[in-house]
Amino acid sequence: MTEERTDLLVVGGGIDALAAATIVARAGRSVRLICSESSLGEIDASWEFHPGYRSAGLRCLSAPRPAVVARLRLEQFGYLSRPRPEMDALRALAAPLLDEMAPIIATIHEFADGAPRDLIDPPFLELLKLGGSLRRTRRAMGNAGFADALRVLPMSIEDWLSEQIDDPKQRAHIAAPALLGGWVGPLSPSSAFLWLLAHAGGQHEPAGGGPALVAALEAAARAAGVSIETSTTVEGWIIENARVVGARTDAADHRTHQLLSCVHPGTTLLERLGSREIPATLREDLGAYRSRGIVAVMHVALDGPVEGPEEHWIGDSPLAWERAFDAAKHGTIPQHPCLRLRVVSATDASLAPEGGSVVRLQVFAVPMVAPENADQQREQLAARVLEQLRCHDERWAASVVGHQLITPTDLDQQHHLPGGHLEQGELALDQIFSLRPCCGIGRYRTPIPGLWIAGAGTHPGGPFPGSSGVLAADQILAAL
């Protein structure tokens, strides 16, 4: 076994890990990044799922916040954004609601762009900042508008939309973005807040999706001098004198002054640290952190073109989405899964052979099951999803040549996401911003000296790729 020492060791190969590594390396520090996958990107990477056909990652990412793009200089490394492919009719229906709640979305942006707030015995200055944010929002909305917004945030998205829109199919398709990040149906309390959070991601996305964003981040990291090591399995942390000083891997001991883990917070703290190293209250809080996956992803290969919109939703009423959620709550798969359909090859022809197409389906709602039941669930779910597609367009049945279905159980077992949640934990009012993953470690620093956390399971959470990594890097640089 060899030993190597760096200023910062980053564990994880996703978007936030690459962002943090780049910021710290540009400050003149030595940085090594290690990840267990054979290539960077984790769930946002591209891979061949059928001969000649490649995926475009598992998530529909929002574009990183402008400040993140600027800090990382991503446009110098080929990053481009594009407008989201939304149906014009739905955009027009949602626009008045978004205009009404624009000050609330601006406040979400303010929270997401700034360092996490100190919620444990906050200093007076922190309270002043919070009060200032709320006062600006109230002034922008007026007293009546602000009071109405406070009424809306804990509401269900179906109740709120029912006040504005009569057509149930239109309500279902407008509401759908609220349902893919939490453990909610359209009738669940606070799903209106999740809808606003989803739209706070903005109207743009990375051109080329997650793989293109990862490619730009990798180029930026390598240009900054980050040493990157893939196919490296972390076996545990090296602890000396109650301080994390490195990581043990299957190849070497990597010693460091500071260690940043961008994997799931539960893996970082509960699995890779002994119980004696973690305060009892933190163990209890982390044990209450919810990571129940509810979304499966299916890549479909077709030997012909796909006509129609680049993205649309399959699920004709709020009741259909609620019934799917009811099935998941009881541990079964819905008879008629609701789908988010994206023709990913429409903007990246390299994903499919000439004349072919690749479609990514996010399938709602799919519970995690025991590993021994995963194959049976996957087989049943694939058949029901393909039947939904056939009912949607009969031409699909003849052109499907292959598919790959990844369930929450697969995410848990194969993609290092305990609970099977694509965002390392549910989005909810009590698991967002500085409350993510829990009070006390919402500012990236853990109670164990030398150990930091970042990633989708930390502040700000939600549709802000790269923000956690950049903000964590600033905290780490102040400590180096």
Contacts made by residues 168-171, CB under 8 angstroms, sequence distance 24+: 168/316, 168/317, 168/318, 168/319, 169/316, 169/317, 170/89, 170/90, 170/93, 171/317, 171/318
* pLDDT per position as a tens digit, 318-360: 999 999 999 999 999 999 999 999 999 998 999 999 999 999 9
- CA 410 from chain centre, in angstroms, equals 16
CB of 36 closer than 8 Å to CB of 233: yes
Cα separation, 397 vs 386, whole angstroms: 8
> What local confidence, expressed as pLDDT, does residue 132 receive?
76
> What local confidence, expressed as pLDDT, does residue 139 receive?
87
> What local confidence, expressed as pLDDT, does residue 444 receive?
95
Backbone angles phi, psi at 155, to 5 degrees: -80, 165
**446: DSSP letter:** -
Residues in the chain with pLDDT values less than 50: 1-2
Cα 91 to Cα 65, 121, 179, 199: the distances in Å are 21, 42, 18, 11
DSSP string, 266-318: HIIIIISS-GGGS-HHHHHHHHT------EEEEEEEESS---S-SEEEE--SH
> What local confidence, expressed as pLDDT, does residue 1 receive?
44
CB of 171 closer than 8 Å to CB of 160: no
Residue count (the chain): 480
> What local confidence, expressed as pLDDT, does residue 60 receive?
93
> What local confidence, expressed as pLDDT, does residue 122 receive?
67
Predicted TM-score (pTM) of this structure: 0.95
Cα separation, 108 vs 94, whole angstroms: 18
> What local confidence, expressed as pLDDT, does residue 126 receive?
67
Q: Give the count of beta carbons closer than 10 Å to the beta carbon of residue 210.
A: 26
How is residue 314 written in tokens?
Answer: 């399959």
Strand residues in 353-398 grouped as ranges (E): 357-364
Cα separation, 92 vs 87, whole angstroms: 9
**96: DSSP letter:** H
> What local confidence, expressed as pLDDT, does residue 128 receive?
65
Looking up tokens 């939904």 gives 388
How is residue 69 written in tokens?
Answer: 């793009």
Cα separation, 416 vs 414, whole angstroms: 6
Classify residue 135 by burial, with Cβ atoms within 10 Å: 0-12, 13-18, 19+: exposed
State how beta strands 31-34 and 48-50 pair: unpaired
Domains and their CATH numbers in the chain? 3-83+207-289+425-479 (3.50.50.60), 88-202 (no CATH), 294-367+369-406 (no CATH)
State how beta strands 357-364 and 295-302 pair: antiparallel
